Amino acid sequence: MASPLFVSPEQAFTLRANYGTPLYVYDEKTLSAQADKVLAFPNAFGLTGRYAMKALPAAAVLRLFHSKGLHIDASSGFEAERALKAGIPAENIMITAQEIPVRLKELVGRGCLFNACSLHQLEIYGQLFPGTEVSIRINPGLGSGHSNRTNVGGPSSSFGIWHEYTDKALAIAARHKVSITMMHTHFGSGADPEVWMHCARLALTIAAKLPEVSRLSLGGGFKVARMEDETGADLHEIGTHLLPAFETFEKEHGRRLHLEVEPGTFLVANGGALLVSVIDLVDTGEEGYRFIKTDGGMTEILRPSLYGAQHPITLMTSTGRKEEENDYLVVGHCCESGDILTPEPGNPEGLGPRSFVRPEIGDILFVGGAGAYCSGMPAKNYNSFPEAAEVMLSRSGEARLIRRRQTVDQMIQNEVADDE
Ligand SMILES: Cc1ncc(COP(=O)(O)O)c(C=O)c1O
């Protein structure tokens, strides 16, 4: 199922009148439904669902998922602090970061959990917190993603402790009397479900070599279908296939592993959209292209420019025009030729015109599948465009502003004046 069109044209024009564009819109109903699916992931001996907050770190979203019972995966000390400020209990936050947080001591002291992502991180953790428990992230030797940029397992990935180094990890832990009670893996974003399952089984064989491990996190990476022709991962099916492997593990190793999953994309991708206005229409002649220029772009939705990600785009007109369709490229507002919302499928460098009814300046485009890695991963303030506003639609369809549009003063507030 492709990402839902959860805003009607009429609603889109009202939202623009009230909040302006570009505007992120989140749909509480879709977000809640996705959380329910994660929390129902079939498991043999217990489950913790974590939300990988890097996907969309707005406090309103963190609180919504907290109220549903999800915990948090923070990818930096700053994310952990942000989650704490949003009211998430420290013990619900696990830090899986490439950079050891400067305030690690304070964060762990408050109750945050730490997942050591390298032997160096484990060494530092051991020095700071001897006699405690820790989780380690393992690179299982294989990964999968919708592009090489999002595959985070295997020999070309720097994420996690290489699976052949479990002895080294155990030796460091023993030196500091630290128990490795949890093992974590994350294979990539938008993973092929088959490869994901294979990696999960591989992770179990590695967990067998870590005798005190009682929790296994298999990360996120579940594919969602944004476009019509895409198929998303079925969590129920994946979990059902995986469950017997945990039972076999218990029979063979006498350990009932508590399962963790920590999706980002799956939880928020299709519960978010970006509304942008058509600001100009240009073309490059008979042999060229027609362009729809919008007031958003890589400053709000970097994924198409960064790795050719495909997002569904629906033209919303105030007049409900239904004229002959033509092909158009949709581009953003930045002075950057790469600021394009319609790259060619499968070729990030190429152009992928799409068919729309005749657009007019002032129309609105609903860019779907924009909940994950959009407002949290923009080309921030490029061309000095301010951060866009964000609204949450309640179950009854009422809009609530959850982030104001940034002002120019806020953009420059940390610059130091010549006379300071
Ligand atoms: C450690 C970790 N866990 C979870 C995720 C979430 O991945 P996804 O959004 O594909 O579910 C990521 C994404 O990069 C990650 O690095």
CATH number where 49 lies: 3.20.20.10
Average pLDDT in the chain = 94
Percent of the chain past pLDDT 70, that is, above it, reads 96
Same domain flag for 240 and 312: no
Question: Is 374 noted as a catalytic residue in this protein?
Answer: no
User: Whose CA is closest to 216, among 224, 225, 206?
Assistant: 206
Same domain flag for 157 and 238: yes
Give the predicted TM-score (pTM) of the model. Answer: 0.95
Confidence band, pLDDT 50/70/90 cuts, at residue 331: very high
Residue 193 inside a domain? The answer is: yes
Residue 344 has pLDDT above 80, yes or no: yes
CA of 344 to the centre of ligand 1 (A): 25
Same domain flag for 251 and 288: no
Same domain flag for 211 and 307: no
Pocket of ligand 1 (CB under 6 A): 52, 55, 73, 96, 186, 189, 219-222, 262-266, 372
Same domain flag for 284 and 256: no
Q: Give the residue-averaged pLDDT of 314-333.
A: 91
| pLDDT tens per residue across span 281-306 | 999 999 999 999 999 999 999 999 99
Residue 232 inside a domain? The answer is: yes
Same domain flag for 230 and 284: no
Q: Whose CA is nearest to atom 1 of ligand 1?
A: 186
Residue 57 has pLDDT above 90, yes or no: yes
| pLDDT tens per residue across span 159-208 | 899 999 999 999 999 999 999 999 999 987 666 777 888 888 999 999 99
Q: Which domain holds residue 397?
A: 269-404
Query: 403 - beta bridge partners?
Result: 390
Q: Give the residue-averaged pLDDT of 339-357.
A: 96
Rounded to a whole number of angstroms, the CA Rg of the chain reads 23
Q: What pLDDT score does 155 carry?
A: 82
Confidence band, pLDDT 50/70/90 cuts, at residue 158: confident
Q: Whose CA is nearest to atom 16 of ligand 1?
A: 186
Same domain flag for 226 and 276: no
Nearest atom in ligand 1 to the alpha carbon of residue 137 is 1
Q: Give the residue-averaged pLDDT of 217-229.
A: 93
Residue 86 inside a domain? The answer is: yes
Q: 73, 223, 374: which to mutate for ligand 1, most atoms within 8 A of CB?
A: 73
Confidence band, pLDDT 50/70/90 cuts, at residue 323: confident
Residue 343 has pLDDT above 70, yes or no: yes
Could you say which of 240, 263, 286 is where a domain stops?
263
112, 117, 335, 374: the catalytic one is: 335
Could you say which of 263, 279, 304 is where a domain stops?
263
Query: 364 - beta bridge partners?
Result: 277, 316
- Structural domain total, the chain: 2
